[in-house]
Structure 1
Amino acid sequence: MELDAVKNTYARWAPIYDRTFGALTAGTRACAVGHINALPGRDVLELGVGTGLALPHYGRDRRVTGIDFSDEMLAKARARVSRDRLNQIDALLQMDARELTFPDESFDAVAAMHVISVVPEPRRVMAEIARVLRPGGRLVMTNHFSTDRGPMARIERGIAPFADLLGWHSDFPMSTVTETPGLNLIIRKRKPPMGIMTFLVFEKV
């Protein structure tokens, strides 16, 4: 996907995101943030923070930075932080995930919830995540990944040409993230709805 297509798509999604895809992914989002809250260290980067649906769930002992490329999504996230007085949110920044402006080894944990199949050049984004994680830090990811066979595989292939319209790649292979140098996959679980979402945890070596 091209970056302009992503930005335009999520400008359209912003007004209804919380009631649609946001509601569908509430469970996996809670699982990811709960895992991060149990980790040592406090500095967290949330990639693709969107409208900020996950932000109220971070522990008050965390220091969270969220980034997104969509100004419309960020406006909703900032309003949420202000309304709910989320003091654990350190900053919400407009940024391209392929070119993170943070120094090396800035974060104890990175959250990437339903975002890696949206961004252009996902392998480049994964390399940036590995760069900004501290040694021993965790990448906590939730996403839909493509299947090899069966009815779901046919559906994924059928809607793949509409990626720019939908805002995500339905046929996104898990190998794109599991082959990232410097990140070891340590947890992999299927999650609802109907097991189509996957929960992954990586540790930086």
Structure 2
Amino acid sequence: MADRKNEQKKSQNRDSQRQKAEAEQEEEMNQQLAQIARRKELNARFGYDVERERLAVIRAAQPITGRILEAGTGQGHLAINLARLGYRLVSFDLSAEQLEFARQNLEANKLAQLVELRQEDGEKLSFPDCSFEIVFSVNMIHHLKDPYRVIDELSRALVPGGKLIISDFNPEGLAMMAEIHRLEGGQHEASPVGIDEVEKYLKDNGFKIKKTRTRFQIILVASRDSKF
């Protein structure tokens, strides 16, 4: 009888801990949603439309065929826009928190079946060489301490003749993000390596570049294909 009571007590404790964890996760998600809503308002104030910018990246990358990798899932903006167009892809991020939010975002849009989310370190990817025909990186480079190591890894995962699409903020975009973070009470830290340095690095490593500009971003479509 005592053993049964102990087991019941343990079971109740486990249930209580699980419910507490679920409640904390829900509260964290609600806070993130509120933060995203505030960020969307600030973006609009500065004329920055995240979806429009992501669609510009997708247009610049056309034609898009074969296996697709996204580096830096974030909240899932690019993955959602690609999936809406019917593309299947693998998307990775180092942050488990960001991946969880992206997963819920994809599920809310009924697109989760098209996107495989992975937790990966961009400096040491688990993918074999030559795994993808298309590799995207959008607004990730300026967050990195050593972007070149990540670019080398993304290049390794790219098939010969594949396309590496790197898009990041131009000076106006970085200034906008710095001001938005200031208004939120924070600070936007950016790598000293900008998109211009990334372009030079790609060219020095045998890539040909097609460049597209939007108001806030520079989009580099890079390939070693001789016909590119």
> Normalized against structure 1, the TM-score is what?
0.72
Measure, in 2, the Cα distance between the counterparts of 1:174 and 1:202. 13
SS at match of 1:65: strand
Which residues in structure 2 correspond to 1:1-205 (within 5 Å)? 15=33, 16-17=35-36, 19=40, 24-36=49-61, 38-41=63-66, 43-58=67-82, 59-60=85-86, 62-86=87-111, 87-89=113-115, 91-146=116-171, 165-169=187-191, 172=194, 174-180=196-202, 182-192=205-215, 196-205=216-225
Unpaired runs of 5+ in structure 1?
1-12, 147-151
Query: Partner of 2:5 in structure 1?
Result: none
Unpaired runs of 5+ in structure 2?
1-30
Asked if structure 2 preserves the Cα contact closer than 8 Å seen for 1:130 and 1:204, the reply is no
Measure, in 2, the Cα distance between the counterparts of 1:79 and 1:167. 27
* The 10-residue stretch of structure 1 (20-29 or 74-83) with the greater mean CA deviation from structure 2: 20-29
Which aligned runs of 4 or more in structure 1 are off by greater than 4 angstroms?
A: 20-24
SS at match of 1:189: strand
* 1:110-140 per-position Cα deviation (integer Å, ceiling 9, x unaligned): 1111111112210101111110001111111
Asked if structure 2 preserves the Cα contact closer than 8 Å seen for 1:14 and 1:73, the reply is no
> Normalized against structure 2, the TM-score is what?
0.66
SS at match of 1:179: helix
Asked if structure 1 preserves the Cα contact closer than 8 Å seen for 2:168 and 2:195, the reply is no
Larger Rg, first or second structure (1 or 2): 2
Q: State the percentage of identical aligned residues.
A: 23
* 1:92-114 per-position Cα deviation (integer Å, ceiling 9, x unaligned): 11111111110000001011111
Greater share of residues in strand: 1
* 1:36-60 per-position Cα deviation (integer Å, ceiling 9, x unaligned): 463232x111111101012222132
Measure, in 2, the Cα distance between the counterparts of 1:173 and 1:83. 33
Residue 82 of structure 1 deviates from its aligned partner by: 1.8
Give the root-mean-square deviation of aligned CA atoms.
3.1
Asked if structure 2 preserves the Cα contact closer than 8 Å seen for 1:110 and 1:140, the reply is yes
Measure, in 2, the Cα distance between the counterparts of 1:75 and 1:25. 20
